[in-house]
Structure 1
């Protein structure tokens, strides 16, 4: 039995970053400043801190200025709203992102609504989700846009194919389904409460697992020759107390069934960051195109 080909998100992310660096080098003399991204983090969640550090490192690599701010856990909603308002007005900032999850006392949704839609680097503002629904140009949710870009890179045909998305979050599942639909796939959305999930996933030519449940998708749930994209990032600790990252699929057994597969880590994670940078550069060029 052949093993599935790997969809290498890490390599493609590096290629996208190089293209963005070249774009910035060419545009900066005309615009007179580099693109700017502000990542706001509240509290001291170690996973969030690692993600933020990653994003800032990636920014530095391509030539995006970081205007990130780190706030203590007890920061109030109104303080954060004031900071977002300030960043909305700041001409050096093209993208604003609030790192989730936030401490319990804060309302993430209303903070997100405060971000100017054209600076919404995460592509999650209702205006940008509306543009996605209407198939209009705009900032796209980073993770699903990263999945689409990876499928495109490997020339995986989507037109007329059966696509199944497992997961229905506003972060991944719903925008993912809309993007696949825009590419003329026939899309089914399943989730943790779907009855007989196996029957549904077995029909998928393209299967996207984004439920946040470790090992949810097993080999017998996958159609032979399918393309399996794992969006899950779950930290699990083994009996020796060692922690590692795994996805929503059982990688080893599915690799014997699928034609293409994404690894965790090294698959969709790096693509999410690459699209975040791409969104920031998109805003930068849009703002300065007049």
Structure 2
């Protein structure tokens, strides 16, 4: 009798334990479900300018308390949109990284509103040995003459534009690589006024790119480098010559002759004075 009672109590304790486990697990699942949200992320790396398709996306659970602003929960809403910034695998696709609806893609999708893209021909020196990569900022130097008609050498190197964004090198717009790429052309993002400046500068001289820190907003004002400043040659200024003193011209009045003799030679008459 005592053994049966102990067995009965053991069965009741086991059943109660199992019930507690079941209810606890259900409560944890319900709590996890209620605190998670669905966020669309990239299933693989997506380059800027690339058109998004559903096979490049996937939906993952994300803590509802830290959902990124501008994220999406339905991948169908992103079908056909174009990225203006690269997205890495597992990174949420945000509205701030998308071009406006209707953008066709390519380099034109990367250009910001009000800006233009202009291509500059470079070599391994002008292109900063290939380190001017998409996403970097450069300054532009022009080497030209102050006055082409001058007889003496007046070459000058001057920074004409600062903090210009590199959109692409050659035909690549990817911004995730850090390896240098020696190419023959660099595409820059500029304003219309800056595009005119670059076009004029490359027609009157030689352009060079100067790589700058991406987070350095400091603008500089330089006078430009000339031959005299390069060689530290003092500029000799010719002293102005003193004006000559005016010459005083004295006028001497002519005196009338005092002694005159009348001379008659044949039929001719004359007069000599002394």
TM-score range, shorter chain: under 0.3
The structure whose residues are more often helix, as a share, is 1
| TM-score (structure 1 length as normaliser) | 0.21
Say which structure, 1 or 2, has more relative contact order (CA 8 Å, 6+ apart): 1
Return the index of the structure with the highest Cα Rg.
Answer: 2
